[in-house]
Structure 1
Amino acid sequence: MLHIELFYHLLSDTLPGLDVQLGETDLVGLVPHLLKAPYMVNELLAFSALHLSTRHPERCKYYRTLATQLQTHAIANFQEGGLVIDQETCVPAVMFSSIVGLHALCDSLVHREKDFAHFVDKFVHCFRLHLGVRTVFTEAWAMIRQSVLKPLLADVERQHHFDGRLGLGCAKLLRLVQAANLGDHLTRIYKQAIEQLQVSANVFIPSAIAGSQFFGAGWPLLVCSEYNDLLLQRRPEALVILAHYAIMLQCCRGSWIVGDGGHYIIQSTRDWLGSEWAEWLEWAVTDVEDPVKLLLQVYG
């Protein structure tokens, strides 16, 4: 009965709430393609349980434990014998990686650690899972072109490239990085992270203006692994860039995956770094009632 409850909630609430369209179908319409893989069944049920943990605070611990158990089974299934990605397995493999990434994002942002340093560690783990998503995507790229995910791939190819233009906030951030004389290596990593922030924002802005609460994986999928290492070191510049990403998260505060995570990142970064980094955080800490307005000011 429990699995029936979770599956019903998945189809009626969890997946429709993500507001994702794949051409003429949506995520619910994709489910029959996913149920062929045992690991995908367990992860979908885990994702549903995670959603319920945010809906029912009085049973949060129960549903989170259930979500963890189901995901553990899912990952074990996924790893058994080594997965060979082919035309039949590419869709569940890509969707499994994507949902595991969203699962980790929610766990980091909503069920977060109280200590900011521990939060950063957990968030870097989330970023690394998203790098795994990118790896699976890359391996399955040609096969996805011939699958039900083809519309998604078309959107990715069309939208996710840097056109050379930076919004006011990103342009200022890059100027500060370049003026700090950090050396070519660090400057290159930060420059890439800032440019990919802009790319993610360019994709997200139309949805944000339309009132969508779902931003997709976005930036964590695009940023390089070296940036994650700098976050683990608590490099101030890396934390500042993370705070600018949180502006996008603030626009999704109505989403169960994000909650008030964006606000938490911005305020915690400000408190962690102190007043000497105020100029770097000027845009991120701007107090506005409408976060979409701030998004447009920083990235538009």
Structure 2
Amino acid sequence: MEKTKTRKPHSKSRNGCLPCKARHVKCDETRPECVNCDKYGSKCEYPPTKPRASRSSHVSPYPVVSTPSSTEDMSINQSLPQPGANGTQDPVLHIPQLRLLHQFVSETVKDLGASTDFDEVNSSYMMKLAFDFPFLLHGCLALAALHLSRVEPSLRAEYIQQAESYHNAGLAQFRTEIQDIVDSNFEAVFCFAFLMFPYACAVPILIANSSPEQALDSIMQNFLLTRAVRPMVVQYYTVMQGSGLGRFVPPDVRNIDWNRESTTELVSLRKFADVTSNLYPQDINEAYRSAIRTLDVLFAAVAHSSTPPSPSLLKMWPHEVPPRFLELLSEKQPGALIIFAHYAVLLRKSQKYWFLQGAAEQILDISEKLVPTEWTSWLDWPREQIRAGNTDSGGS
């Protein structure tokens, strides 16, 4: 970021390669591969030699994002076909991508954080990063497509398909990128990891006619993927706070006290842990109690805040619960599903975010269908809170 701010101006390279022109950096014009392309692993291509055209007929190349369906490298440094020798070919506009980009910057970012300051980070700082890191740009386009699938129901299927294509393309590159997180790419990795939570919350809801098992599996896959990134992001967390992304951390996350003992509205859930402690071996009891305690801390943080919980706070629970609990949830164990339904109440408190609208209801529906009949009374409190929409009353 600092290098970008202090970079000295330089003379333009008029005969440089296409990737350097797309990056707006000076090309040394070395053939067959310039120094910049060798450094970044880009495919070095030069525009075809053509007669000099008049200023009025000259058309510059337009950098575009490659289509997600391509099996080749998804690089934003690719360019559109050059004009013909007569200079009459018009540039091709990729309207669908431009529409998604506009949606992300103007609308989607408004529902990703808890403040206007946070929106500014998403719409400016993150987008600047995205133009240098294709996987992040794909992530932005994927989330914008999901958002538009809610805004424009008549085009819902088309936008969902676009979201899946862009997300898969970005994710494939992201998995390669996180193999070597360094100072130059950690901000882009952090941003993509941040986008994965709203995407994970929205996608299962959009799967038509899916069974509760399929919906739960989809949620778990996204949980596990975001957890895998967390240790790598933590490594740069202190550095991140001093960068432009420091505003990503909302106040309700900064003020969490994990050591404070709190009595929250999760009365029935604590009773469940006591009643069932003799039914399970020690490892399961410990996993359940740890998941409940983490949920207790987060409910206490929400109770002490005058605003709805931020997405950053909400995603702390799947990140902080022990791996054994996630194993039990993946196995669809009744106790884990009951605790999961109580977590859904926390999501219900943040219905202001578009990607969480309906998430709590779906988690409750999954739990009701998978929990044996003799256990369903433990779902009474989350059922009351979610179905009635009364998230301010205490538990019983």
Q: Shorter-chain TM-score: what band?
A: 0.7 to 0.9
Which amino acid in structure 2 is aligned with residue 63 of structure 1?
Answer: Y
Q: Which residue of 1 aligns with 2:286?
A: 188
Deviation at 1:43, TM superposition (A): 0.8
Q: How has the CA–CA distance of structure 1 residues 160 and 107 changed in structure 2, closer, same or farther, with 3 Å as cutoff? A: farther
Q: Bigger CA drift: 192-201 or 265-274?
A: 265-274
Deviation at 1:143, TM superposition (A): 2.2
Q: Bigger CA drift: 131-140 or 115-124?
A: 131-140
Q: Are 2:239 and 1:143 equivalent residues in the alignment?
A: yes
Deviation at 1:228, TM superposition (A): 1.4
Q: Which residue of 2 aligns with 1:27?
A: 122
Cα distance in 1 for residues equivalent to 2:154 and 2:250: 42
Which amino acid in structure 2 is aligned with residue 193 of structure 1?
Answer: A
Q: Which residue of 2 aligns with 1:129?
A: 225
Q: How has the CA–CA distance of structure 1 residues 82 and 230 changed in structure 2, closer, same or farther, with 3 Å as cutoff? A: closer
Which amino acid in structure 1 is aligned with residue 123 of structure 2?
Answer: V
Cα distance in 1 for residues equivalent to 2:140 and 2:347: 23
**CA-based RMSD:** 2.8
Q: Bigger CA drift: 272-281 or 7-16?
A: 272-281
Cα distance in 2 for residues equivalent to 1:54 and 1:193: 32
CA contact (8 A) 1:239 1:269 kept: yes
Q: Which residue of 2 aligns with 1:104?
A: 200
- Give the counterpart of 1:260 among 354, 358, 363: 358
Cα distance in 2 for residues equivalent to 1:205 and 1:121: 31
- In the alignment, structure 1 segments of 5+ residues that lack a partner are none
Match of 2:370, SS state, is helix
- In the alignment, structure 2 segments of 5+ residues that lack a partner are 1-94
CA contact (8 A) 2:341 2:382 kept: yes
Q: Are 2:307 and 1:210 equivalent residues in the alignment?
A: yes
Q: Which has the higher contact order (CA 8 A, sep 6+)?
A: 1
- Give the counterpart of 1:78 among 167, 170, 174: 174
Cα distance in 1 for residues equivalent to 2:124 and 2:114: 11
Q: How has the CA–CA distance of structure 1 residues 200 and 95 changed in structure 2, closer, same or farther, with 3 Å as cutoff? A: farther
Which amino acid in structure 1 is aligned with residue 106 of structure 2?
Answer: S
Q: How has the CA–CA distance of structure 1 residues 101 and 261 changed in structure 2, closer, same or farther, with 3 Å as cutoff? A: closer
Q: Which residue of 2 aligns with 1:292?
A: 391
Deviation at 1:57, TM superposition (A): 2.0
Q: How has the CA–CA distance of structure 1 residues 211 and 165 changed in structure 2, closer, same or farther, with 3 Å as cutoff? A: closer
Deviation at 1:77, TM superposition (A): 2.4
Cα distance in 1 for residues equivalent to 2:307 and 2:114: 14
Deviation at 1:211, TM superposition (A): 5.5
Which has the larger share of helix? 1
Q: TM-score, normalised by structure 2?
A: 0.66
Larger radius of gyration: 2
User: C-alpha offsets along residues 110-166 of structure 1, whole Å, 9 cap, x if unaligned?
Assistant: 436531122111111121122124223222223223322334458445326241223
Match of 1:76, SS state, is helix
Deviation at 1:221, TM superposition (A): 2.0
Q: TM-score, normalised by structure 1?
A: 0.86
User: C-alpha offsets along residues 59-115 of structure 1, whole Å, 9 cap, x if unaligned?
Assistant: 111111111111122123223466532333222111101212321221023436531
Which amino acid in structure 1 is aligned with residue 125 of structure 2?
Answer: L
CA contact (8 A) 1:190 1:227 kept: yes
Q: Bigger CA drift: 36-45 or 82-91?
A: 82-91
Q: How has the CA–CA distance of structure 1 residues 148 and 133 changed in structure 2, closer, same or farther, with 3 Å as cutoff? A: same
Question: What percent identity do the matched residue pairs reach?
Answer: 20
Cα distance in 1 for residues equivalent to 2:322 and 2:208: 23
Q: How has the CA–CA distance of structure 1 residues 225 and 284 changed in structure 2, closer, same or farther, with 3 Å as cutoff? A: same
Deviation at 1:19, TM superposition (A): 3.4
- Give the counterpart of 2:331 among 218, 230, 233: 233
Q: Which residue of 2 aligns with 1:17?
A: 111
Match of 1:239, SS state, is helix
Deviation at 1:205, TM superposition (A): 4.3
Match of 1:291, SS state, is coil
Deviation at 1:192, TM superposition (A): 0.9
Cα distance in 2 for residues equivalent to 1:168 and 1:68: 38
Cα distance in 2 for residues equivalent to 1:86 and 1:135: 14
